[in-house]
Structure 1
Amino acid sequence: MIALAAFAMGTGAAFAEETAPENVSFDGYEVAESLTGVPGDPEKGREIMTNKSAGNCISCHAAEAYADVPFHGEVGPVLDGAGDRWSEAELRGLVVNAKMAFDGTVMPAFYKTDGFTRLGDAFTGKAWPEGEPVTPLLTAQEVEDVVAYLKTLTE
């Protein structure tokens, strides 16, 4: 029993609570604190970014690191060197809600659940079902995974 209690205390970070979208703390547009307390997985981040039914980042952003995936967009900046250009806090803030940095951007807020003008149902092109609770496009851990992948995109 004592060993179990010691194990639980020693792994507290693994059981950290997620920050809910409405509780994300911005400093300007930066989000310094991890949303999960768990490091992101760059491989999962790449999957999310290059999957058109997940993050769909590839529809707007190109990068040499995922040149093997067809149909890159050219609306957003090229992400080569993103890990050098932006800090982890800046990247997290941009993924959570890019509108905090770039008013008028077409980049969706991936971790937001309120304050929308025309709320759609993810990438389906349909309106959000009335009365249904709003869920973010990405989970808190998926945001951390994308940030971890973006940090690998260095020059």
Structure 2
Amino acid sequence: MKILGTAAGVAALLASVAVAEIIEPTNVSFEDGAIATSLTGTPGDPAEGRDIVGNKKKGNCVACHQVSDLAEIPFHGEIGPMLDGAGDRWSEAELRGIVANAKVMFEDSMMPSFYKTEGFIRPGNAYTGEAADDTFGPILTAQQIEDVVAYLATLKD
């Protein structure tokens, strides 16, 4: 009976833990280009972030950036800064802001806004080459942003 009561208590505790709500792209709060608060309340997964950074159908960061840790992926770009040492150059909040919308911190940046849904002149549907439809959303989800931030934070000099 004691085990059953303990199990019920654990279940009640888990059920009472507040599930953090996802901050929608239109509600993101920037301070000097940084986003201090997690977009999901869930820690990012560096392994997932690594996949997103290197995957040409997801984040496609390697189209513009070089990353030594992703040497197995061909054709890194040279438009953006090298991402080696990103975890030393910027805080987690700054990395989150840069990935979500680099133009807030770096006004003249050519980097796409990965977590934005408004204010575009001619939005496209992610990397499909087609025009946006009524399901238009950000390029990356809030959790994908957190995953990329977690990965970039591991890139130390």
Pick the TM interval, shorter chain.
Answer: over 0.9
Q: 1 CA distance for matches of 2:102 and 2:14?
A: 39
Asked whether the equivalents of residues 33 and 94 of structure 2 are also in contact (C-alpha less than 8 Å), the reply is yes
Deviation string for 1:8-38 (max 9, x for gaps)?
A: 22x43xx211101111111020000000000
Q: TM-score, normalised by structure 2?
A: 0.91
1:79 aligns with 2:83: yes
Matched with 1:5 is 12
- Which residue does the alignment assign to 2:28? 24
Larger gyration radius, structure 1 or structure 2 = 2
**When the two structures are superposed, what TM-score results if normalisation uses the length of structure 1?**
0.92
Listed one character per residue, the Cα deviations across residues 86-114 of structure 1 (whole Å, up to 9, x for unaligned) are: 00000000000001011232211001110
Partners of 1:136 and 1:39 in 2: CA distance: 20
- Counterpart Cα distance in 1 of 2:129 and 2:57: 12
Q: Could you tell me how far 1:134 is from its partner in structure 2? A: 2.1
Equivalent AA in structure 1 for residue 26 of structure 2 = E
**Which residue of structure 2 aligns with residue 54 of structure 1?**
58
After the TM superposition, list the runs of 4 or more consecutive aligned residues in structure 1 that deviate by more than 4 angstroms: none
Unpaired segments ≥5 residues, structure 2: 1-7
Write out aligned runs for 1:83-94 (5 A).
Answer: 83-94=87-98
C-alpha contact (below 8 Å) 1:91/1:150 kept by paired residues:
yes
Q: Pick one of 91, 104, 107 that aligns with 2:108.
A: 104
What is the distance in 1 between the residues matched to 2:14 and 2:145?
28
RMSD over aligned CA atoms reads 1.2
Q: Identity over the aligned pairs, expressed in percent?
A: 56
How many pairs were matched up? 150
- 1:98-134 CA-to-partner distances (Å, cap 9, x unmatched) read 01011232211001110111211111222213xx142
Deviation at 1:83, TM superposition (A): 0.2
